[in-house]
Structure 1
Amino acid sequence: MSKTNLKTRLRLKRKFRVKNRTQKDPQKLRLSVFRSTNHIYAQIIDDANRKTLASASSLTKDFQAKMKTGGNVEAAKLVGSMLGEKASAQGIKEVYYDRNGFIYAGRVKALAEAVREKGIKF
């Protein structure tokens, strides 16, 4: 088994473990994060109604106007603050943090801290 296949399998195990925890209370919103090597994406999802309420990524025009690359910690902080502003404008106060199996460090942690600074609890 290759090393990348093993890493992917382990990430998916963590992802499903977290997702099972978050689906126990479907009334609470979910902040889902995905990171690739070059970009980071985040969205707040209402699982009960199956709708995305707010989203931000390193591919949006607002982000591209401020930064060039989306694969570093500074980019994750900017995406987190953009998402936090959108969420607070809609009156969202509390969410589950779904890190999609990614380890809580680096860009995933920076995005979470930036969203918390905008007043969103998780």
Structure 2
Amino acid sequence: MSAIDKRKLRHTRLRKKLTGTPARPRLAVHFSGRHITAQVIDDSIGKTLVSVHTTEPEIRAKANAHANVAIATEVGKLIAQRGSAQKISQVVFDRGGFKYHGKVKALADAARDGGFQF
């Protein structure tokens, strides 16, 4: 079984247990080789409330590198800042099947420092 298939299995197991509510929306993250995406999602209405992607000018101006820990930290700070503007303080963290290490941990820690409570 390939690493991608293992990640998809982990993600399927996680999604059975995690759902975002209006009180605690889901903070979902996705990592590719080049980009990082973070979204705050209310699963009860199926709507993305806040999103951040590494192709946005605010992040591109700070770093031109590929997806790494420094950029994950910037994405975490920005998603927390935008969430606070929408009066979102508590979220459920959906790591998307990725192991809680490296970029995932950096993004989560930055979001916590920015004001999100997991």
- Which TM bucket (shorter chain)? over 0.9
Q: Structure 1 residue 54 and structure 2 residue 56: aligned?
A: no
The equivalent residue for 2:80 is 84
Q: Structure 1 residue 103 and structure 2 residue 99: aligned?
A: yes
The 5 A counterparts of 1:30-49 are 30-49=26-45
Q: Which runs of 5+ in 2 are unaligned?
A: none
Q: Is the 8 A contact 1:45 1:54 kept in 2?
A: yes
State how far apart, in whole Å, the 1-side matches of 2:54 and 2:66 are. Answer: 5
Alignment length, in residue pairs?
117
TM-score by length of 2: 0.93
Q: Is the 8 A contact 1:70 1:76 kept in 2?
A: no
**Cα deviations across residues 22-78 of structure 1 (Å, max 9, x unaligned)?**
13x644310000001111110100111111111111110111111112311000000
State how far apart, in whole Å, the 2-side matches of 1:117 and 1:35 are. Answer: 21
State how far apart, in whole Å, the 1-side matches of 2:91 and 2:102 are. Answer: 21
Of 11, 17, 30, 1:15 maps to: 11
TM-score by length of 1: 0.90
Q: How much identity, in percent, do the aligned residues show?
A: 38
Give the 3-state SS of the residue equivalent to 2:61 in structure 1. Answer: helix
State how far apart, in whole Å, the 2-side matches of 1:17 and 1:118 are. Answer: 28
State how far apart, in whole Å, the 2-side matches of 1:110 and 1:82 are. Answer: 13
Q: Which structure would you say has the larger Rg?
A: 1
